[in-house]
Chains A and B, each alone.
Chain A
Amino acid sequence: MVPVAPIGAVVHVLDAFERVLARDMLGFSLPDSLAQPGAPELRVIISDGRTLFFALHPKKGVPKLFGGIDLETLEAEGAAAAGRVSRRLKAVKPGKGTPEVLFGPESGSERGRIEISVTRLAKDIPKRPA
């Protein structure tokens, strides 16, 4: 079962993501635009049930991981933790508490993850009439 706390955060990020992209790319809207040809695949990763990451997988090349939001710490420490975390929210590299982009035998410190392809879900939603 997916914990509720990350879902609230994911919905908030996707909403803001759509707003930013709609500002810069005319006509961008979720979910349809995620299914455009050439669009990178967007995935949400909840690592060890408490740390939230977003991953972008380009058609070619190396996927990138964003985030590392420890929802339990945020809940417990609030603004102080948010300030600390915001310093490392650019694309992150695996290691030192950051999981691999792809879960595998080399994912040393990570015990488990929930990984959801937002792009695949978007592709499965029937297209709305224009």
Chain B
Amino acid sequence: MTKRNSNPDKPKSSRAELHSDNPAVRELLDHVAEELAREYISLMKEAAAKPEQED
């Protein structure tokens, strides 16, 4: 298997790619998205059940 980011002097701008290349980090970020989405849905349902008076 070849290592893509072999240059330790590679600029920091490549870090974003590095995160999505790492399966463990990707899984972690997906997990945050799931939790966030679950809470978002629950808050939307709450808001629909108790419509508020807009300012």
How many residues of A are counted as interface, with CB atoms below 8 angstroms from the partner's CB atoms?
A: 45
**Which residue of B22, B24, B32 is within 8 Å of A66 (Cβ)?**
B32
Q: Which residues of the partner chain A approach B26 to less than 8 Å between Cβ atoms?
A: 12
* CB of A49, distance to nearest CB on chain B (Å): 12
B-side binding surface: helix, strand, loop or mixed?
helix
Q: Does B1 contact A (CB under 8 A)?
A: no
A58 vs B43: C-alpha distance in the bound complex, in angstroms?
7
Q: Does A69 contact B (CB under 8 A)?
A: yes
Is B13 touching A58 in the complex (CB atoms < 8 A)?
no
Q: Which residues of the partner chain B approach A71 to less than 8 Å between Cβ atoms?
A: 15, 19
Residues of A within 8 A of B (CB): 3-5, 7-9, 11-17, 19-21, 24-25, 36-40, 42, 54, 56, 58-60, 64, 66-67, 69, 71, 74-75, 78-79, 82-83, 85-86, 89-91
